[in-house]
Amino acid sequence: MTTLQERYTGAVMNTFGPPALALARGRGAHVWDTDGKEYVDLLAGIAVNALGHAHPALVDAVTTQLSTLGHVSNFFATEPQVSLAERLTGLLGWDDARVFLSNSGAEANEAAFKLTRRTGRTRVVAAEGSFHGRTMGALALTSKAAYREPFEPLPGEVTFVPFDDVSALEAAVDETVAAVVLEPIQGEAGVVVPAPDYLAAAQRIAHDHGALLWLDEVQTGIGRTGAWFAHQLLEGVAPDVVTLAKGLGGGMPIGATVARGGAATLLQPGNHGTTFGGNPVACAAALAVLDTIESESLLAASVQRGDQLAGLLARHTGVVEVTGVGLMRGAELDGPYAAQAVAAARDAGFILNATGPTRLRLVPPLVITSDDLDALDAALPHVLDTARAAAQESTP
């Protein structure tokens, strides 16, 4: 009998490599594969499933909206679209903002990139270690050479500077720069947290030269760090543009580009568009996510469970550093066996993610329980020992 993974290989483009598992269903922070094996999901669709799997509020919102009005295009307005835009500007505390709704983080960043061009300037300063997406524009802002080089030439005039280096920003930003784009915490780089004053310094530098501060909160936003947006954890940081996706839809595809002040009016009719962006179903899902985060106190839960996760990681031999905030955590291992740790964890019933040879990333659903994390704590010694041994056996 042909397995789902074998069918995948024969039908789906090989852009991701062979899938590690074939998953069949999920509930809360747990998923089951097609053989019926259960896993605690500490990846959450790459920080997407804020409410976990099959949350009743999300299921009800999508079902109700789809049975009423599914898609109408942006020739028309719908209540979920307008309500979501209003809700996002309210959560940001901006009374002079506008929202462009799209389908993904890459699209949110594409819109923001085009917005910066409407300033009349064409240079953008981004950070080394950054990840902003895989479309041609978003890729131009992403620093990893292996992602960029096969597709060059990319949209130009992007300058990369070391992350968390104020002097490097000061040297790079001048009156030709349209925007400085930064992640408050770098996710794909392994959950890299800058110094507390870095974003405020970036804002000062950008504004001193008439440039925009654009914060990519695709991974850090919507409660992931224990605040609605990671920059709200810091004093004096007020970006001009924020991009969102991932947790916003709880698993439904949606992105948002939010701009305030003069930046909110840079894109005008004919400058940009989307067919599916802002469709009623995705917006209804996003509103359900926001409502549930509030009603179930998931901002506080992100802090509490995040502290528990950081504490248990730090206790284990082999973990030399724990980074991050809330339920966005990185674990630095004492050797290059992160890939083996992911495999050993999977065998033990846990889904983890490696962002480099020595680095694990843990971004579980905001609904993950204390018991789930206790189970991880109990399994980690065997997982890490097994991974270390497997790495040593594979070393020539």
- Give catalytic residue positions: 131, 216, 246
Strand order in the sheet with 353-356: 319-325, 328-333, 359-362, 353-356
C-beta atoms surrounding 67 within 10 Å: 8
3-state secondary structure 334-359: CCCCHHHHHHHHHHHCEECEEEECCE
Distance from C-alpha of 354 to C-alpha of 390, rounded to nearest angstrom: 16
The DSSP symbol for 211 reads P
Q: Which residues pair with 28 in a beta bridge?
A: 53
Q: What's the CA gap between 389 and 337, in Å, rounded?
A: 9
DSSP 145-169: HHHHGGGPSPS--EEEE-TT-HHHH
How many angstroms separate the CA atoms of 201 and 291, rounded?
33
**Distance in angstroms (rounded) separating the CA atoms of residues 182 and 355:** 19
Instruction: Kindly give the residue spans of alpha helices, DSSP state H, lying in 119-262.
Output: 136-140, 145-148, 166-172, 198-208
- Amino acid at residue number 42: L
Pair of tokens at residue 197: 């004053």
Distance separating the N- and C-terminal Cα atoms of the chain: 37
